[in-house]
């Protein structure tokens, strides 16, 4: 067990309830809905994500993705969630806590995406309002970091609304849409109030 960790690797992650949404680990039975949402949202998501592999939406690729998520959770390196609308269980998007660093850091990187048809409706805000306390509480992360492209105004607004603090600019931080691009860095400490 990792230093300062409160969940055992063998424990199933609980569903996380938020206002009008819930988050849980993806399952193989989610593949068709996930793939359809990603395909319908391809043009919307492409400017903000790494280039998708040719087979990204296939059942086999999704199975490999789930195996990677399970390995990351088992080794306490990352935690992946799909976001669902509470009323009808529709898949809305996803969120991850990756690059978990234990010991003297107790930190992780937050990533998230929302399907095009669900964007701008408050679902991601509700999902992250539920996920952040889980990260600070159950996972005992002192610091949750996030990075976004400077021109992604919606993501900047979301992070600022959730009391993430802008900490600087990382040059050529991630390869997004096939190009190494600068990112604005944000972080939220366990002691920061969640609005």
Mean pLDDT over each residue of the chain, to the nearest integer:
94
Lowest mean pLDDT among 6-15, 94-103, 173-182: 6-15
Domains of the chain: 16-142 (3.40.630.30)
Say whether pLDDT at 63 is over 90. yes
Q: Where are the alpha helices (DSSP H) in the chain?
A: 31-40, 42-45, 59-74, 123-136, 153-161
Whole-model pTM: value is 0.92
The residue written with tokens 């600087």 in the block is 168
Which of 43, 58, 45 minimizes the C-alpha distance to 112?
A: 45
Q: How confident is the model at residue 115 (pLDDT cuts 50, 70, 90)?
A: very high
- The whole-angstrom separation of Cα 128 and Cα 20 is 12
């Amino acid at each position: 067990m990792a230093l300062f960790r409160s969940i055992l690797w063998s424990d199933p992650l609980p569903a996380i309830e938020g206002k009008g949404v819930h988050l849980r680990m993806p399952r193989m039975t989610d593949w068709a809905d996930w793939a359809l949402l990603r395909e319908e949202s391809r043009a919307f998501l492409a400017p903000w994500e790494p280039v998708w592999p040719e087979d990204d939406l296939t059942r086999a690729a999704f199975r490999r993705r789930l195996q990677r998520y399970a390995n990351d959770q088992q080794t306490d390196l990352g935690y992946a969630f799909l976001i669902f609308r509470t009323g009808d269980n529709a898949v809305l998007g996803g969120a991850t806590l990756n690059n978990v660093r234990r010991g003297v850091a107790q930190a992780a990187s937050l990533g998230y995406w929302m399907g095009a048809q669900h964007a701008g409706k408050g679902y991601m805000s509700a999902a992250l309002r539920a996920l952040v306390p889980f990260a600070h509480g159950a996972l005992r992360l002192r610091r949750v970091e996030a990075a976004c492209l400077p021109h992604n105004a919606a993501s900047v607004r979301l992070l600022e609304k959730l009391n993430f603090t802008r900490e600087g600019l990382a040059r050529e931080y991630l390869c997004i849409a096939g190009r190494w691009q600068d990112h604005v860095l944000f972080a939220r400490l366990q002691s920061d109030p969640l609005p």
